[in-house]
Amino acid sequence: MDNIIYYIFSALSLLIAITIHEFSHALAADKLGDPTPRSEGRLTLNPLKHLDPLGTIMLLVARFGWGKPVPVDPYNFKNPRRDELIVAFSGPLSNILLAILISLLLSFTSFNFLVLSFFFTLVQLNLVLAIFNLIPIPPLDGSKILFNLLPVDTSAQWQEALEKYGSILLIASVFLPIYNGRTLVDLVITPTLSFLSSLLLPF
């Protein structure tokens, strides 16, 4: 019964986290002058518009994953490098802000154990989604942030190399043990999640 409840809470938290994440990408792009997300029907809080089948399964099974990427045309931006960086960062930031808001709610309001457990799961999955997507490997948001922070020439070189092998690197980072049987993603996510959870869920 506990496992069933956990998976129900995880599924609901997943729907909320991915929807907020992808909607934030779409909203940021729309506000910065790119109509592409709106024309593709992504400027919505309907979770069915944002779910990626493989990314959803990964989040449920391995507690990290992704949603369906929001299509963005940087040529519609006034300042393409700056605005693409903002759009890329808006997704992880929205998950972190949602986790903080829930943490504040938990600090000032009392809930029964079941509701409390759901909110704990929601906070942690939002943090996992944010941390994972900030890893600078294509097609994750962190790669777009990195490319737009680097000098133009350096960015072009890194982008060509990483996008060519991004999928392989990402799969290796998720599944290939590199230290004490732990993967690169595990080494990044676990301590970061533990630290942030200790700040937001200290009780």
Structure tokens at 166: 């991004």
| pLDDT at position 62 | 66
Sign of the torsion angle spanned by Cα atoms 201, 19, 93, 54: positive
Query: Is 60's pLDDT higher than 80?
Result: no
Structure tokens at 114: 């079941």
Burial class (CB in 10 A: 0-12, 13-18, 19+), 114: exposed
pTM more than 0.95: no
Angstrom distance (rounded) from CA 3 to CA 166: 34
| pLDDT at position 1 | 60
Angstrom distance (rounded) from CA 173 to CA 72: 26
Of 22, 84, 160, 163, the catalytic one is 22
The residue type found at 180 is N
> Percent of the chain, pLDDT > 90?
67
| pLDDT at position 63 | 59
* Chain segment 71-93, per-residue pLDDT in tens: 999 999 999 999 999 999 999 99
pLDDT bin (cut points 50, 70, 90) of residue 164 is confident
| pLDDT at position 166 | 86
State the Rg of the chain over Cα.
17
Burial class (CB in 10 A: 0-12, 13-18, 19+), 66: buried
Angstrom distance (rounded) from CA 59 to CA 61: 6
Classified as helix, coil or strand, 110 is coil
* Chain segment 32-50, per-residue pLDDT in tens: 999 999 999 999 999 989 9
Asked if 32 and 87 touch (Cβ cutoff 8 Å), the reply is yes
Q: Which residue has the tokens 């960062």?
A: 89
| pLDDT at position 90 | 98
- Enumerate the H helices of the chain as residue ranges: 2-31, 36-39, 53-62, 80-108, 113-133, 141-149, 152-175, 184-200
Structure tokens at 37: 């997300």
Structure tokens at 119: 């909110």
> Percent of the chain, pLDDT > 70?
95
Based on the residue annotation, tell me whether 84 is a catalytic residue of this protein. no
| pLDDT at position 104 | 94
Query: Is 61's pLDDT higher than 80?
Result: no
| pLDDT at position 65 | 63
| pLDDT at position 174 | 86
Q: Taking residues 113-139, what's their average pLDDT?
A: 93
The residue type found at 103 is S
Structure tokens at 118: 């759901």
Q: Taking residues 186-191, what's their average pLDDT?
A: 94
Angstrom distance (rounded) from CA 161 to CA 170: 13
Query: Is 175's pLDDT higher than 90?
Result: no
Name residues whose C-beta falls within 8 Å of residue 125's C-beta, 6 or more positions apart in sequence: 10, 13, 14, 17, 59, 63
Residue-range domain boundaries for the chain? 2-200
